[in-house]
Structure 1
Amino acid sequence: MGDNLIRVVSFNLKRDFGIALNRSHKWGQRRALAAQFIRESGATIVGVQELLPNMRDDVSRLLDVDYSVLGFGRFSGAKPHSDEHSDIIIKNENASVRLIKTFWLSKSPERLSRAYFAVFPRICTVAEVYLTKLNRSIRVFNTHLDHICGIARTLGIRVILDYMRSFNEERPMPTILMGDFNAKPTSRPVRLLRGCSEEYPQLHLTDVYTRFPAHVNNTLHNFSGRVRPGAQPIDYIFVSDEFEIVEAHIITDPVDGHYPSDHYPLEATLMLKS
């Protein structure tokens, strides 16, 4: 990959439900596959969702010193790594992190809280990432929206957009938003992002699916490996105008014949404009 390009991935790793999963789908059978995929993807930045503390420990150990796994759990407080994380993984050879922050997708985003109608507290992790080869800094948001309530998902996106605006007013920076939105492209949260400049004039985000609209399919496959042409994704990467989308793909290939998750990873290769 050229020095002026960066690869980013959004990947829901499927939380470890223990006895509730088919034995071959348990995390213990998948952790090495997940780490192998992250390494082989060549991505500088990977946003992961449904990362439980034990899974986080495994990913950190398997990726070793080559990567940093950054973020806090959604029940953070006295125990900063409690329950699910939406962490940002950085390839240390290519990048370093200047800031890492987790906030809640609610009306009280600076403290442990949940949106009205949301089943669980939902979080977003934001990192300011310095790209070594480019000598540029970018801002990355990674989230996992509520799986039940559309109102909670829309509120979550509004909270994220408010933070984007606030950060950019203080220090403008090229921005990436990625994650499992639990929402189809026609849903209100996704439409809000695609048209965010109407309510947030200083923000303009482009969905990487615009790079390959004829080949968009499901990103959730429930370990089946099925691809349903015309089916709608629920995982997304959005980028600000400072980026050119060079390539984008839903990665449907297994790793050594097995799937590391019930989601397909979404990968984008980006070029930072001068």
Structure 2
Amino acid sequence: MSTTPGISRRTMLTAAGAVGALGASAALAAPAAAQTAHGGRPVIGPARGEWLHAMSFNVRYDREGQTQPGEPDYWPERAPLTAAFLRLEQPTILGVQEVEFNQLTAVEEGLGRGYEMVGFGRDGGAAGEYSAIFYDARRLTVTWWDQFWLSDTPAVIGSATWGNTVTRIVTWARFHDTVTGRDFVHINSHFDHQAENARLRSAQVVREQVAAAGLPVVFTADCNAAAEASAPYDVLVTDGGLQDTWLAADRRLTPYAGTFPNYGAPDPDGTRIDWILATPGVEVRSAAINTWTRDGRYPSDHTPVQALLRIA
């Protein structure tokens, strides 16, 4: 399902409040020094110069009617935390997972003016979870984007044929960076949480897409698979040749922690299932696993992962 180049959201999504791009590019602030995840300063923050701040963030869907005020998973109380966190970090490109239509507003409020979005719900239109891409339109221009379903019938909305009962999608966008003059592709996804075959096939599809892109690629996803110890990781990194930005970074700005703490304390022995990968040649200055909280509350059951990149 392709769109005309340059259109950031389909007409059916305008009710969510599309954010218009600002005319001239504003000066971008310098990356912050490493901070504790609980502080009031960003771990990476807005990028400067040729650097791009990439983030993958599973926001956790809204379990409306299944949670109560005061519970960690209660969306009305997580929404302002999500906005506050994104307002602090201001990624240049952001791949989200599990966001439902009614949750888009919190993401948009946090990112603020000048950001736009591409993507649909996985059940078509505004229905179902999004694996959308948000981007700083003051700097980046979308020259094309698309969304497809991870199945044997990728153009069929809601299709799932690899043993998964949950629909899974890929959203991708080709960007022109007005600061550097370079083009690159951002691919964002959310692999299945139950079916190993679906995760493996999904990784193979992404690897083929990267190979066919003909441009530098940044891949963000909740892969529901262990970094350095799973078949999808082998397909994409060990055998596929993509860089794992957490390992490739010149600096790691935060301690290691599993990226699915499920609202618990950061676990230094936990599994890293949320990844940012990049093609060879993309310079990785720094990376982070961000366990930010406010008043002891997390915005999601996943920790966002971040990387500061330069596209060659």
TM-score under structure 2 length normalisation = 0.78
Deviation at 1:58, TM superposition (A): 4.1
Name which of 110, 116, 120 aligns with 1:68.
116
Residues 220 and 234, structure 1, Cα contact 8 Å, conserved in 2: yes
Name which of 160, 167, 174 aligns with 1:121.
167
Residues 132 and 171, structure 2, Cα contact 8 Å, conserved in 1: yes
- The AA in structure 2 aligned to 1:194 is V
What is residue 210 of structure 2 aligned with on the other side? 164
What is residue 200 of structure 1 aligned with on the other side? none
Q: Does 1:176 align with 2:213?
A: no
Deviation at 1:178, TM superposition (A): 0.8
Residues 52 and 308, structure 2, Cα contact 8 Å, conserved in 1: yes
Query: SS at 2:113's partner residue?
Result: helix
> Superposition pairs for residues 1-274 of structure 1, below 5 Å?
1=30, 2-24=48-70, 25-60=73-108, 63-76=111-124, 80-112=125-157, 113-166=159-212, 168=213, 172-185=214-227, 186-197=229-240, 204-210=241-247, 211=249, 212=252, 215-224=255-264, 226-255=265-294, 257-273=296-312
Distance in 1, Cα, partners of 2:294 & 2:187: 27
Distance in 2, Cα, partners of 1:128 & 1:154: 25
- The AA in structure 1 aligned to 2:115 is Y
Report the CA distance shift for 1:228/1:55 in structure 2 as closer, same or farther (over 3 A): same
- Between the two proteins, the alignment pairs up a number of residues equal to 259
Residues 69 and 87, structure 1, Cα contact 8 Å, conserved in 2: yes
Deviation at 1:60, TM superposition (A): 3.2
Aligned-residue CA RMSD (Å): 2.0
For residues 185-205 of structure 1, what are the alpha-carbon distances to aligned partners after superposition, in whole Å with 9 as ceiling and x for unaligned?
A: 2011111111344xxxxxx31
Structure 2 portions without partners, runs of 5+: 1-29, 31-47
- The AA in structure 1 aligned to 2:242 is L
Structure 1 portions without partners, runs of 5+: 198-203
Residues 254 and 290, structure 2, Cα contact 8 Å, conserved in 1: no
Where is the helix percentage greater, Structure 1 or Structure 2? 1
Residues 209 and 216, structure 1, Cα contact 8 Å, conserved in 2: no
Mean alpha-carbon deviation: is it higher for 258-267 or for 93-102?
Answer: 93-102
- The AA in structure 2 aligned to 1:151 is N
Report the CA distance shift for 1:190/1:266 in structure 2 as closer, same or farther (over 3 A): same
